[in-house]
Structure 1
Amino acid sequence: MAKLTRITTQKKHKSRYNIFLDHGKGEEYGFSVEEDVLIEHRLQKNMDLDEATIQALIQTDTLHKSYTLAINYLSYRMRSEKEIRDYLKGKETDPEHIDEIVTRLKNDRLIDDQEFANSLVRTRVMTSSKGPLLVKKDLLEKGVAAPKAEEAILQYSFDQQYDKALKFAEKKLKSDGRKSHRQQIQNVHQTLMQKGFQGDVIQEVLANLPEEEDEDAEWEAVVYQGEKLLRKFQSKAEGYELKQKVKSGLYRKGFTFDLIDRFIDEYVEG
């Protein structure tokens, strides 16, 4: 049994208190607690504390500190249950305390994976170029269960997907101006898939892009790509072999035979 001899406020943390005890050999520092723990357990001078009570108070304070860390972590943005668990684990919180903290946060409606998922989808729709499949991937990586992720993704409407994908496709077409129209369309398709857009949205976007290339732009593109191929192969081949290498390269880049033959006639000697 120990007697509580003194309670002092910590200098750097005014909400924490140092508890001094006398086990019969004079006063010595025992442990520290948060103000909430001090008040809840009505700690005061001359109180008798047995070892079990002291250990329980230390555990209660440790739990309180971990809970406070979790609350602070939540103050910046919503978190999934997995994010909370991972954060507390990184802070070396006792596993039993983690379970207790998560339960308390759920009961207080401070964490809710469905609400978290809904909020993240709304944010991604407003602030990113990601399609629904990538957004769902984000949710799963944050520990949201698949059914909840699926429900949240329903908020990402077809029209929102289409508008976002079309804007990105038009931007991509402009940046690929020195490629063949066919390759531009292929690149748009591939990029939209990589961005996580669904097949029906991609097909709708592609159906509304220009179907035929601008002749002048296509000729400028074949000249640009053809000259690059000439610089690449001129030191290694000539005559018929050079023409075949350039033709093959331009065909793989999506140009028509008519344009390729015209380029060969005008730019390749022999």
Structure 2
Amino acid sequence: MKIQKVEAAKKQMFIVHLSDGQKFRAHEESVVRYRLISGRELDEDELDEIMEGISYDEAYIKALKYISYKLRSKYEVEQYLLDGDFMEQVAAHTVDRLMQEGYIDDKRYAEALKNTMLNTTLKGPGLLQRELKKHRLNQFLIDEAVRDFDDSIDADRMNKIKDKELKKYKGAYRQFQMKLKEKMMVKGYMNHHFELIDFNDDFDDTSFFEKDFEKYYNKYRTRESGWKLKSKLIQSLLRKGYNYQLIEEKIGGIEDEIFEHDD
């Protein structure tokens, strides 16, 4: 079997034509390494060896391009190659090579992701842990990165989150605290982070209370009266987080006949 011709293609690729009608693509690096030149004679064993080598070269080049855009985990690169129809041993060999050459480093990946989340987002260490587990990092590396993240969280960060959420909030301040805690848990924070927050805000929820009182009063008065109306009002406003004393004062300020009898 003879190489009939080697034809240049795009992006440093070449198409190698064989005398038996076969053809295959090879990167410039493979063409040079395996001396793929017109007129060269090849036997079956040589061709098999060259094709295997080309597969490794192709996987390596594709992986290099993939990690050139941003840091990738070992698992991420391996999955990328497997999804690209490379055989398992080719993907594993390529990842090992890239690790030896320093292009893949899960410790550096964990550190970089931690710094990105810490400095450019309001996410917490729980989300970092979740992300690193998704990338199948060694548990020791995960624990180390999460611990470093946790140690970097201070009152300034937590109060920044609180202030941001409070600007958007409309309702009882006590309920705001509960909702904030729920949201922080979703963002990956824990109870000891919540304790760093200063809740001594000058937040007046009176206008929100008045609106909610009117809303529930209008909702229930068409079908309830007297004690039942009063009870439903109190329950609904308590669920919204308003202070019981504030509710009682409001109801006490309304004319007695509104609540004086049941239907």
| TM-score, normalised relative to structure 1 | 0.86
Q: What's the offset of the Cα at 1:244?
A: 0.9
Deviation at 1:29, TM superposition (A): 4.3
Q: CA deviation at 1:41?
A: 1.7
Q: 2:125 matched to which residue of 1?
A: 132
Shift of 1:154: 3.3
Deviations 1:34-75 (A, max 9, x none): 221121122333322111211221222222222221111101
Deviation at 1:105, TM superposition (A): 0.7
- Residue 173 of structure 2 corresponds to which residue in structure 1? 181
Matched, 1:247 2:234: yes
1:210 corresponds to which of 200, 208, 215: 200
Give 5+ residue unaligned stretches, structure 2.
none
Query: Where do 5+ consecutive residues of structure 1 fail to align?
Result: none
1:261 and 2:253 equivalent?
A: no
Q: Give the counterpart of 1:16 among 13, 18, 22.
A: 13
Percent identity over the alignment?
Answer: 24
2 CA distance for matches of 1:167 and 1:14? 48
> CA shift at 1:18, angstroms?
2.7
2:2 alignment partner, SS class: strand
Q: Which residue of 1 aligns with 2:184?
A: 192
What do you get for the CA RMSD once the two structures are aligned? 2.2
The structure-2 alpha-carbon separation of the partners of 1:4 and 1:253, relative to structure 1 and needing over 3 Å to count, comes to: closer
CA spacing shift, 1:19–1:191, aligned 2, 3 Å: closer
TM-aligned CA distance change 1:144 to 1:162, over 3 Å? farther
- The aligned counterpart of 1:74 is 67
1:49 aligns to what SS in structure 2?
coil
**In the alignment, what sits opposite 1:166?**
159
The structural deviation recorded for 1:157 is: 5.3
Alignment correspondent of 1:115: 108
Please say if residues 122 and 155 of structure 1, whose CA atoms lie closer than 8 Å, have aligned partners that are also in contact. Answer: no
Find the aligned partners of 2:242 and 2:221 in 1 and give their Cα distance.
21
Corresponding letter in the other structure for 2:195: Q
On the 8 A contact 2:221/2:229 being kept in 1, the answer is yes
Cα deviation, residue 94, structure 1: 0.9
Distance verdict in 2 for CA 1:19–1:187, change over 3 Å: closer
Deviation at 1:267, TM superposition (A): 4.9
Equivalence for 1:227 = 214
Q: Contact 1:117/1:149 (CA < 8 Å) preserved in 2? A: yes
What is the one-letter code of the residue matched to 2:4? T
Residue 123 of structure 1: how far off its partner (Å): 0.5
